[in-house]
């Protein structure tokens, strides 16, 4: 038995050593309130702004367009709720892909129940891809927001966000376009001006940073209504004393992840192709998605006749840590809404797991995973037959 192999990086990542050091310094040395006018406060403010600049540069934005939040979920909520309130006179219709993170989908469901908005979900093809043409066709006179994630967190599909935005803006340039890019930063090169988005969500703990911190890119000139009122921090858009240690860690994580991205991408592609080749030896195995449309760090596969959560627990007992899908909803023991939207049959969807790589993942670990996966799947299927 191996000590452990962690392959659930799409759920969360271990913090880089530099991130831990940056956070420790912020906790012990740069402990001032960034809003305080004295030297301790000014030093903390400089630290926050240094991270703001690092995040901005990583996506081709201006520092003044980056607003720190408590994470990706809050950033998604701010984008959606803030837009609907700012544009309530223009309309209340939102378009989203059916494979969005629950931070988007549950927010829309809740707001529709309250009568705040109506929304249309665009169903993907069998590879998880959203059609830009279908998104544009769903635009109505009262549409105020379109939200399509950049990389899907469960199957890794890279969505054609740039084309989606171009088609939507051609229909109505006043519609705000948002993308949840929590899985994308450090996993692919992109610039907000190339994508054309007005709003973009990032998360710290998905790329070697701490949990509890994220950011929303809000393009200059885009008007949102704040969801946190108080002291007016973050240029009035997100009140509350900034979490300086987490923000410092976030900035350090972004710098490291983007700096190491080329080498990481090469390694992840090797690991991904190697894994997909090895699992061909396991009977009745299906990979959801295709390498042509998948991010390099995620592989989602199904084993009909086995429940995904049982396979996950069986692998964990052997020191292999994977997941059944999105960590935020995996304990609900329901079929993945992403696989359901892709048209995956229930028997296969229920037996699916997600394997996701990190900066330290090696091909040798993939060999071990594949061997134990084949063994475990065989054991579970044999047990069920008996």
pLDDT of residue 264: 97
Of 99, 144, 141, 138, residue with least CA distance to 117: 144
Give me the residues paired with residue 356 across strands.
Answer: 8, 298
Residue 5: how many CA atoms within 13 Å on its side-chain side? 24
The per-residue pLDDT for range 286-342, each reduced to its tens digit, is: 999 887 789 999 999 999 989 999 999 999 999 999 999 765 554 455 689 999 999
Interval 237-258: pLDDT, tens: 999 999 999 999 999 999 999 9
pLDDT tens-digit map of 27-76: 999 999 999 999 999 999 999 999 999 999 999 999 999 999 999 999 99
Q: Is 328 a catalytic residue?
A: yes
From the candidates 117, 177, 218, 328, give the one annotated as an active-site residue.
Answer: 328
- Ordered by where they begin, the domains of the chain are 5-14+259-385 (3.90.1150.10), 59-244 (3.40.640.10)
Q: Tell me: the pLDDT tens digits for 74-87?
A: 999 999 999 999 99
Give me the DSSP letters along 293-315.
TB-TTEEEEE-TTS-HHHHHHHH
- pLDDT at residue 349 tops 60: yes
pLDDT averaged over every residue in the chain: 95
Residue 60 CB neighbours (<10 A)? 14
The answer to whether 9 and 327 are in contact (CB under 8 A) is: no
Map residue 120 onto helix, strand or coil.
strand
The pLDDT tens digits for 11-20 are 999 999 999 9
pLDDT single digits (tens) 116-169: 999 999 999 999 999 999 999 999 999 999 999 999 999 999 999 999 999 999
């Amino acid at each position: 038995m191996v000590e452990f192999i962690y392959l659930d990086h799409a759920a969360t990542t271990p913090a880089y050593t530099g991130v831990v050091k940056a956070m420790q310094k912020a906790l012990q040395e740069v402990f001032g309130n960034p809003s305080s006018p004295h030297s301790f406060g000014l030093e903390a403010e400089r630290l926050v702004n240094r991270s703001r600049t690092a995040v901005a540069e990583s996506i081709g934005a201006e520092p003044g367009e980056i607003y720190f939040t408590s994470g990706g979920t809050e950033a998604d909520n701010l984008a959606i709720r803030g837009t609907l309130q700012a544009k309530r006179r223009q309309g209340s219709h939102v378009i989203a892909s059916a494979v969005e993170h629950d931070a988007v989908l549950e927010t829309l469901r809740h707001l529709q129940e309250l009568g705040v908005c109506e929304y249309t979900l665009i169903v993907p093809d069998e590879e998880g891809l959203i059609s830009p043409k279908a998104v544009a066709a769903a635009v109505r006179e009262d549409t105020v927001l379109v939200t399509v994630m950049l990389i899907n967190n469960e199957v890794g599909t890279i969505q054609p966000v740039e084309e989606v935005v171009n088609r939507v803006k051609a229909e109505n340039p006043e519609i705000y376009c948002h993308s949840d890019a929590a899985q994308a930063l450090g996993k692919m090169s992109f610039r907000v001006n190339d994508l054309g988005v007005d709003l973009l969500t990032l998360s710290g703990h998905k790329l070697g940073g701490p949990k509890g911190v994220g950011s929303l890119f809000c393009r200059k000139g885009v008007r949102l209504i704040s969801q946190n009122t108080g002291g007016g921090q973050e240029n009035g858009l997100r009140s509350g004393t900034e979490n300086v240690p987490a923000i410092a860690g976030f900035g350090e994580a972004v710098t490291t992840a983007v700096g190491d991205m080329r080498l990481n991408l090469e390694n992840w592609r090797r690991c991904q192709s190697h894994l997909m080749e090895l699992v061909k030896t396991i009977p009745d195995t299906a990979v959801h998605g295709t390498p042509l449309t998948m991010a390099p760090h995620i592989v989602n596969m199904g084993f009909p006749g086995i429940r995904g959560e049982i396979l996950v627990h069986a692998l964990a007992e052997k020191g292999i840590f994977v997941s059944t899908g999105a960590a935020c909803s995996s304990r609900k023991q329901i079929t993945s809404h992403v696989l359901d939207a892709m048209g995956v049959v229930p028997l296969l969807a229920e037996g699916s797991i997600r394997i996701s790589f990190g900066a330290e993942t090696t091909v040798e670990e993939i060999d071990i995973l594949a061997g134990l996966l084949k063994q475990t799947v065989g054991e579970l299927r044999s047990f069920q037959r008996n």
